[in-house]
Amino acid sequence: MINATACGVIEAARRARRQIARVYAARHGILGALAEDLIDTSKDRASAIGRLREAPGSAFGSCRFKLRPFEQDRSQYDRLIEVFRAHDIGYFFYNGGNDSMDTALKVSQVSAAAGYPVACVGIPKTIDNDLPLTDSCPGFGSVAKYVATSIYEAGLDVASMYKTSTQVFVLEVMGRNAGWITAACGVAAQAPDDAPQILLFPEIPFDEPRFLARVKEVVERVGWCAIAASEGLRGTDGKLLLEGGLRDAFGHVQLGGVAPLLARRVSEGLKYKCHWAVADYLQRAARHLASRVDVDQAYRLGAAAVTLAIEGRNGVMPTIVRVADRPYRWKIDAAELKDVANREKKLPREYVSVDGFHITDRCRRYIAPLMQGEAFPRFRNGLPDYVQLRNAPVAKKLADFKI
């Protein structure tokens, strides 16, 4: 949904020409801002910008990059101010999760201190849905719709053939330490024996004997069992189930692989035939099955960020406020970045059933509205027709900067 938000920002800015002459996008997020690698979005027509609403990925590139701690080394912050000053940039919109909100806050503070005050507005975006003070985060509703649809469909497949083939199916979903996406799978189960019958949350320690007993019980009652498991599943010892596996360049455990591990335990422990799927980026990029509510919220938050900036607000983040569950109504408000940054909103215990294996009605009431409505992209020759922007570079004015 990062593109839908960009669309909201750019379209709102184009309507506010008196305050904002043009919108530059930093290529690959903060990296592009540091490298003075800027894109002039005014070179793209309104029709192309409009189509950002229906494009996955990030049209300008993104990054996973944390600025060095401000207290230890402010050269990166100083460089940002230098770039802003060189290009007469007065507003800084930064889209992302916890880390990004922290960056936006720091930039706001540094720019004020440097005598070149930039209005910094963070805009929430994370499929992990773990930002505080906003009822939901763009990206989550669409991933929720995709994973719930996927396990619903796969469950129908397993239900068709369990007599002579697969009896247990495991779908692994993302979300790191937060069980929001796992919980979303649970919305597909509209009756107790529907798929998925078992959810494994990162917040609930994985107890293998209890798990196997539950699988057995479900297979004996229903004939088959569909399980949604979080990539960030942890054992009763608090360690990630994938602790022993691949590590990335920073030494972090690389997530992905819980599903085959669980399938092996079920297959060896209970002798049921298992299949497993790991959706990985498919869930995050599945713009073909986006939630209309999610797209609308992403767009409106982008537009609201521009309004906040023009009103002179600084160090803030527009938020979604839920007005009612059924029918779902929401509005936009704003929170201070200092109250948002570096805080994580995990799945509350009362959203998980007492036995730890499913969601409660309260959780369902929270998640279901976020996946409402469809927003299919246009298709061409059988495939989604996602826009490619021109991404015209802005001429550099400064010397190179070593990141």
Rg (CA), the chain: 23
Between 158 and 303, name the residue whose CB sits nearer to a second copy: 158
Between 277 and 321, name the residue whose CB sits nearer to a second copy: 277
Between 156 and 213, name the residue whose CB sits nearer to a second copy: 156
Give me the amino acid identity at 2.
I
Of residues 128-167, those binding a second copy (CB under 8 A)? 145, 148-150, 152-154, 156-161, 163-166
Which listed residue (120, 199, 371, 394) binds a second copy by CB under 8 A?
371
**CB-CB neighbours of 272 under 10 Å:** 18
Helix (H, G, I), strand (E, B) or coil at 198: strand
Between 55 and 304, name the residue whose CB sits nearer to a second copy: 55
Secondary element (H or E) of residue 336: strand 329-336
Least distance from C-beta 155 to a second copy, angstroms? 8
Backbone phi and psi for residue 14, each to the nearest 5 degrees, phi listed first: -65, -30
Residue by residue, DSSP assigns 30-98 as HHHHHHT-EEEGGGS-HHHHHGGGG--S-TT------PPPTTT--HHHHHHHHHHHHTT--EEEEEESH
Q: Cα dihedral angle (394, 115, 74, 302), rounded to 10 degrees?
A: -50
Of residues 51-90, those binding a second copy (CB under 8 A)? 55-58, 61-65
Least distance from C-beta 205 to a second copy, angstroms? 24
Give the binding-site size for a second copy (rule: CB under 8 A).
Answer: 72
Least distance from C-beta 116 to a second copy, angstroms? 27
Per-residue x/- mask for a second copy, residues 349 to 368, rule CB under 8 A?
-------------------x
Query: Strand (E) positions, 89-204?
Result: 91-96, 119-124, 168-173, 198-200
Catalytic residue list contains 128: yes
Q: Is cis: bond before 369, omega within 30 of 0?
A: no
Question: CA–CA separation, 44 vs 392, rounded Å?
Answer: 8
Least distance from C-beta 315 to a second copy, angstroms? 25
Residue 48 binding a second copy, by CB under 8 A: no
Question: CA–CA separation, 77 vs 80, rounded Å?
Answer: 5
Binding piece for a second copy, criterion CB under 8 A, among 130-138, 205-213, 249-257, 304-312: 249-257
Q: Which of 37, 44, 102, 128 is catalytic?
A: 128
Least distance from C-beta 154 to a second copy, angstroms? 4
Per-residue x/- mask for a second copy, residues 272 to 301, rule CB under 8 A?
-x-xxxxxxxx-xxxxxx-x----------
Per-residue x/- mask for a second copy, residues 1 to 40, rule CB under 8 A?
---------------------------x--x---------
Which listed residue (177, 373, 391, 401) binds a second copy by CB under 8 A?
373
Between 121 and 185, name the residue whose CB sits nearer to a second copy: 185
Report which of 307, 400, 325, 401 is spatially closest to residue 365, judged by C-alpha positions: 325
Question: CA–CA separation, 160 vs 256, rounded Å?
Answer: 28
Between 28 and 396, name the residue whose CB sits nearer to a second copy: 28
Token pair listed for 277 = 């799927």
Instruction: Tabulate helix, strand, coil % of the chain (nearest 5).
Output: 40, 15, 40
Binding piece for a second copy, criterion CB under 8 A, among 39-47, 234-242, 243-251, 334-342: 243-251
Between 13 and 371, name the residue whose CB sits nearer to a second copy: 371
The number of angstroms, rounded, from the C-alpha of 46 to the middle of its chain's C-alpha atoms is 26
* Residues labelled catalytic: 128
